[in-house]
Structure 1
Amino acid sequence: MYADVALTDPPLAAVTYFQVTALSSSGTRTHENMVPPVPLLAVRGSHGTSLLHGPPQCEQHSAIFRVGASKCVTFSRDGTLFSCCDGNKVSVVKSSDGSIVSSLERPKTILLELSPMNNVLVTWQPYSKTKDNPQGEANLQLWQIQSGQLIKALYQKKVDSWCPCWSDDETLCVRSVNNELHFYENNDFNTIANKLHMQKVSDFALSPGVQPSKVAVYVPGSKGAPSFVRLYQYPALGGPTAALANKSFFKADRVVMQWNKKATAVLVTASTEVDKTGASYYGEQTLHYLGVNGETALVQLAKNGPIYDVVWSPNSAEFCVVYGFMPAKATVFNLKCDPVFDFGTGPRNAAYYSPQGNILVLAGFGNLRGQMEVWDVKKYKQVSKPQAPDSTHFSWCPDGEHVVTATCSPRLRVSNGYKIWHYTGSVLQKWDVEGSSELWEVRWQPFPDGTFPERPIKYQAVPSELGTTQPPPTQAYRPPALRHLPATPSTKLHEEEPPQNLRPGVSGEKNLSKSALKNQKKREAKKAAKQESKPEPPSEPSPVSSSQSEPSSGDPEMDKKIKNLKKKLKAIEELKEQQASGKELQKNQLEKIQKEVQLLKELEELQIEH
């Protein structure tokens, strides 16, 4: 999550380069070098743009590269190259010593990207047209990095999905053009190798990793038809029969699609602009799972409210969701969409896995107070609980041991600056801008996977001159007239839920407080008593008419799920009757009929459980 590019930057100074100290290990990516590389931190603001030494040195005044105020910056995927635009030129330099690789006269550029293998530089500037040129200038340019030659100039009016997407080996590149997907092979942009066109493709996501490449496409619903996401494997793009997986759903004005690292599954967060029930300011969100093996599911969340964040673990086998009205819940799910661990409730709206996947940070930024919870994922044990108020940015250092938090403009124009932390809560470096200057962006230099090995997790704060920022215990306000009297137990506005291990075979009792454990045992005893008094469920559940009386299980949520399943099964029965009478069914109706066996199985499991 990077800071937004500020489009109203002040006049930019001329570019000046100088090398202060060359990092001997920066730029070295081989495992033969026993000394780990030192990650760089790119800092962009009204004061200029610099590449600074990162942890453990955290040297503020020793820069690899420095330039005047920049409109935009980016690193290559392997971190060996750094590019920026100062309002006069677009420059590409080596991260190791700041030496210039390429320089282009593109003064209006506000967005930059480098292809995965460092062969192509992409520049984008706002589209404009004049009387002399009513068609306008092609505002998306692809450049050969080493030679600086223009490969292709294209039109891209909207900033959304502005950049083409490459496979990791650059054998495939995808671009969205007028509700079509255009596929290019081996960086030949003069020939469209393949196209995907169906209704109106609104968004897409290309899979990471090695070939064969897969692409997830989203088509919004219209005229009562549902929206849907389909997965295809290139080059088999021939309609729904060629799809690896298909998931349709209603209530979706937009979606966010996220592949896991191994490209075996996609998470789709579907959102509406407005919640028609009036329950949420954020609209409505649902989370869907699609696997390349054809499996799909709606991820069941245990609390109503917005979905704030969804992140894959780097191991590609789990994902974390932060959701629900405040205080929000956070839950880790496996690939079956079953909950593995519930972190309880707290003031949080974001989640961040470390690059190695062994640490998870839950945080509350924006309109929350910046509380961070650092968790050991393997033991599900909390490591630290630092606080970074007014932060607008958080990102992990590639070494998996340090993070940076920053307060950036234009989100917040006061108290701009950044802090570098150790995950145990120690502040290693703090830098605040001076006077009326602004900080616009901070960004870590990336590294290839495996550069930094996973290290044992520490639970004691590492030494630091700046100390830690563990929040002090809070006390309820008491009027002066009552402060001499004994304190009385306070009533909380929200009942906080403790963490709970939900893995099969693990009771999770060691994660619960005494009071929570006592309440849990009471609930289990009550549930067991109801189970004993309930008659045996039928061996083969069948759809039940809504006019029949529904036996209650004592669990309102479970009754609701059973009722919804029976409602769906009844609708399927009606569709089958229509099909038997010779009526031609629509595609989504046929898909509903195919789900009958799955729904019957779910209903049987619920009735056996309760």
Structure 2
Amino acid sequence: MDHHTLQKAQCFQGNLEKIAKSTHLVRMGHCLPGTMEKTSKDGTAGVPNLQLYDVKTGTCLKSFIQKKMQNWCPSWSDDEIICARNVNNEVHFFENNNFNTIANKLHLQKVNDFNLSPGSQPYKVAVYVPGSKGAPSFVRLYQYPNFAGPQAALANKSFFKADKVTMLWNKKATAVLVIASTDVDKTGASYYGEQTLHYIATNGESAVVQLPKNGPIYDVVWNSGSTEFCAVYGFMPAKATVFNLKCDPVFDFGTGPRNAAFYSPHGHILVLAGFGNLRGQMEVWDVKNYKLISKPVASDSTYFAWCPDGEHILTATCAPRLRVNNGYKIWHYTGSLLHKYDVPSNGELWQVSWQPFLDGVFPAKTIMYQAVPSEVPSEEPKVATAYRPPALRNKPVTNSKLHEDEPPQNMKPHPGSDKPLSKTALKNQRKHEAKKAAKQEARSDSASTPVIPQSVPRNTITQSVSGDPEVDKKIKNLKKKLKAIEQLKEQAASGKQLEKNQLEKIQKETALLRELEDLELGI
């Protein structure tokens, strides 16, 4: 990796203050950044505790009185022409950084949060109002500054079970994904509450995204083309699924130790990762062909970022999240570790980021599957062995799993079909494919079929796979009973006196053979 590429990673130490966009600094608190003074108890105005500064000149542009700690930070549009702030049942909009005049107001009773759309004009805003007294919560989409009248909203989606929401605009500002969360799961299924995923488009369409596995929603990300999104969800091992704009599943990545997803800047590569309390395993996927590229491991990572060139990946271990083994690594998406920096033991790394570039500076390149060469030795993580009590340490290890891993599965509809297969259709399709594969295997092995003893009926040992576990289980049990009957008949032929219950078993042979024949004919 050349020196120019390494310079793209700029490291910063120290506690960074909250910076909104490029030219404004937001300071919360009268004395120290990141703190807020209490307002007066007697109801008087109190001292302004929220200041907006011009970063270039250091001038304080405006001071506000902010009473709530939640959702206090103002938000700018990407071009910084408008700025919005949540204030007592209203969202206030300022234009051209003139904070002495409120240009527009969006009034909604008990409005709790808002999110400005990315990109340039026309600006859009998503607002969230929590439910109360049996009424549902809702998210509405508006186009700035058209806020007046009951028909002003572009779209509306109401839902229950929402103590708070996370609203995610796609890059083209045509749709929003809403993660609705409750603090407590009343069903008792989860200690961490309950979460649901909703889709709202500016054309008025909305839907609930059906997630096949129960459990928390760890991450949801849009691809750069705004045509699909990926959700990571479900109790561990978590599932990851790509959905289209109709909220239909396109590809299921199966289950694995992951809790985050990251699309490359060009949207052609997707990284599924397990950070935090997981081991740092990453899966790098080609999302055009849905093919696995590499599986590097970045242990103890607290930060992940794609380089704007769409080829290199940055992972870092930063304080205060982790104060040991601070440093950063630069990877190629094919799994090669290209550069590693470890912070000295007397220092701490607080932040690391790529040098920013404008969109379009780096064109998308053809995806490679062969790992690029690297002079940095690969670090194979030590695999921790499971604890074994002393009584079992000298005995053979049995392969047992707490969970059945689900493999990746293409969910796209077959040619000539408008809709993806339903769960039942997919299940029947898997049974049919398993049955077909078993028959092909049986044909290939027919030439090497062992000689069957004459004393054992041929239909009692003929292998058959139905594709249905329950049917296979019944066939296996019937064959087991018939084999035991044959052994009893051999004992009787040798002159051994059989018990009454053993004679009764022999009498059931005809019925068992008939039942077995019926099951095998149904395969």
Q: Shorter-chain-normalised TM-score: which range?
A: 0.7 to 0.9
Among 30, 37, 58, the residue aligned to 1:128: 37
Contact 1:198 1:239 in 2 (8 A): no
Q: Does 2:401 align with 1:500?
A: no
Contact 2:137 2:159 in 1 (8 A): yes
Number of the residue aligned with 2:18? 111
Q: CA deviation at 1:357?
A: 0.8
Q: CA deviation at 1:521?
A: 3.1
Amino acid at match of 2:409: Q
Amino acid at match of 1:284: E
Q: Does 2:352 align with 1:442?
A: yes
Among 124, 133, 136, the residue aligned to 1:214: 124
Amino acid at match of 2:308: P
Residue 192 and residue 277 in structure 1: after superposition, are their counterparts in 2 closer, same or farther (change >3 A)?
A: same
Q: CA deviation at 1:519?
A: 8.9
Residue 140 and residue 477 in structure 1: after superposition, are their counterparts in 2 closer, same or farther (change >3 A)?
A: closer
Q: CA deviation at 1:154?
A: 2.2
Q: CA deviation at 1:504?
A: 1.7
Q: In 2, distance between residues paired with 1:148 and 1:491?
A: 63
The correspondence of residues 143-158 of structure 1 with structure 2, limited to 5 A, is: 143-158=53-68
Residue 524 and residue 428 in structure 1: after superposition, are their counterparts in 2 closer, same or farther (change >3 A)?
A: closer
Among 264, 267, 282, the residue aligned to 2:174: 264
Contact 1:244 1:293 in 2 (8 A): yes
Aligned to 1:242, the other structure's residue is in SS state: coil
Q: CA deviation at 1:520?
A: 5.2
Aligned to 2:229, the other structure's residue is in SS state: strand
Q: In 2, distance between residues paired with 1:363 and 1:336?
A: 26
Residue 455 and residue 472 in structure 1: after superposition, are their counterparts in 2 closer, same or farther (change >3 A)?
A: farther
Aligned to 2:364, the other structure's residue is in SS state: coil
Q: In 2, distance between residues paired with 1:44 and 1:173?
A: 28
The correspondence of residues 133-212 of structure 1 with structure 2, limited to 5 A, is: 137-212=47-122
Specify the structure having the higher radius of gyration (Cα). Answer: 2
Q: In 1, distance between residues paired with 2:148 and 2:27?
A: 32
Aligned to 2:246, the other structure's residue is in SS state: coil
Aligned to 2:430, the other structure's residue is in SS state: helix
Q: CA deviation at 1:422?
A: 1.4
Aligned to 2:151, the other structure's residue is in SS state: helix
Number of the residue aligned with 1:42? 10
Amino acid at match of 1:505: H
Residue 213 and residue 231 in structure 1: after superposition, are their counterparts in 2 closer, same or farther (change >3 A)?
A: same
The correspondence of residues 386-425 of structure 1 with structure 2, limited to 5 A, is: 386-425=296-335
The correspondence of residues 262-411 of structure 1 with structure 2, limited to 5 A, is: 262-411=172-321
* 1:129-178 C-alpha deviation (Å, 9 max, x unpaired): 699xx965534333344444332222335454343222223332211112
Residue 39 and residue 296 in structure 1: after superposition, are their counterparts in 2 closer, same or farther (change >3 A)?
A: farther
Contact 1:427 1:467 in 2 (8 A): yes
Q: In 2, distance between residues paired with 1:519 and 1:293?
A: 36
Residue 506 and residue 332 in structure 1: after superposition, are their counterparts in 2 closer, same or farther (change >3 A)?
A: farther
Number of the residue aligned with 2:521? none
* 1:514-549 C-alpha deviation (Å, 9 max, x unpaired): xxx9995316799xxxxxxxxxxxxxxxxxxxxxxx
Question: Could you tell which deviates more after superposition, 316-325 or 391-400?
Answer: 391-400
Q: Which runs of 5+ in 1 are unaligned?
A: 1-22, 26-36, 46-69, 73-109, 508-516, 527-553, 555-610
Q: CA deviation at 1:484?
A: 8.2
Number of the residue aligned with 1:533? none
Contact 1:128 1:136 in 2 (8 A): no
Amino acid at match of 1:197: H
Aligned to 1:375, the other structure's residue is in SS state: strand
Amino acid at match of 1:71: N
Aligned to 2:431, the other structure's residue is in SS state: helix
Contact 1:386 1:468 in 2 (8 A): no
* 1:426-469 C-alpha deviation (Å, 9 max, x unpaired): 22222222224322222223222112211111212222222334
Amino acid at match of 1:112: I
Among 510, 521, 527, the residue aligned to 2:430: 521
Residue 189 and residue 487 in structure 1: after superposition, are their counterparts in 2 closer, same or farther (change >3 A)?
A: closer
Amino acid at match of 2:10: A
Contact 1:216 1:229 in 2 (8 A): yes
Contact 1:406 1:417 in 2 (8 A): yes
Q: In 2, distance between residues paired with 1:169 and 1:440?
A: 28
* 1:335-373 C-alpha deviation (Å, 9 max, x unpaired): 000000000000111101111111110011111111100
Residue 479 and residue 241 in structure 1: after superposition, are their counterparts in 2 closer, same or farther (change >3 A)?
A: same
Q: In 2, distance between residues paired with 1:475 and 1:506?
A: 46
Q: In 1, distance between residues paired with 2:194 and 2:427?
A: 35
Q: In 2, distance between residues paired with 1:493 and 1:149?
A: 60
Q: In 1, distance between residues paired with 2:7 and 2:344?
A: 25
Number of the residue aligned with 2:499? none
Q: CA deviation at 1:476?
A: 7.1
Q: In 2, distance between residues paired with 1:173 and 1:323?
A: 34
Q: In 2, distance between residues paired with 1:40 and 1:357?
A: 21
Q: In 2, distance between residues paired with 1:477 and 1:145?
A: 56
Q: Which runs of 5+ in 2 are unaligned?
A: 417-425, 436-467, 469-523
Amino acid at match of 1:42: Q
Q: CA deviation at 1:375?
A: 0.5
Residue 147 and residue 481 in structure 1: after superposition, are their counterparts in 2 closer, same or farther (change >3 A)?
A: closer
Q: In 1, distance between residues paired with 2:39 and 2:68?
A: 18
Residue identity over aligned pairs, in percent, reads 69
Amino acid at match of 1:349: N
Q: In 2, distance between residues paired with 1:456 and 1:415?
A: 35
Q: In 2, distance between residues paired with 1:408 and 1:331?
A: 29
Amino acid at match of 2:18: L
Q: In 2, distance between residues paired with 1:194 and 1:264?
A: 22
Amino acid at match of 2:81: T
Amino acid at match of 1:113: A
Q: In 2, distance between residues paired with 1:377 and 1:469?
A: 27
Equivalent residue pairs, number: 417
Amino acid at match of 2:264: S
Q: Does 2:160 align with 1:250?
A: yes
Amino acid at match of 2:237: P
Number of the residue aligned with 1:6? none
Aligned to 2:166, the other structure's residue is in SS state: strand
Contact 2:138 2:156 in 1 (8 A): yes
Residue 485 and residue 182 in structure 1: after superposition, are their counterparts in 2 closer, same or farther (change >3 A)?
A: closer
Amino acid at match of 1:521: R
Among 442, 448, 467, the residue aligned to 2:377: 467
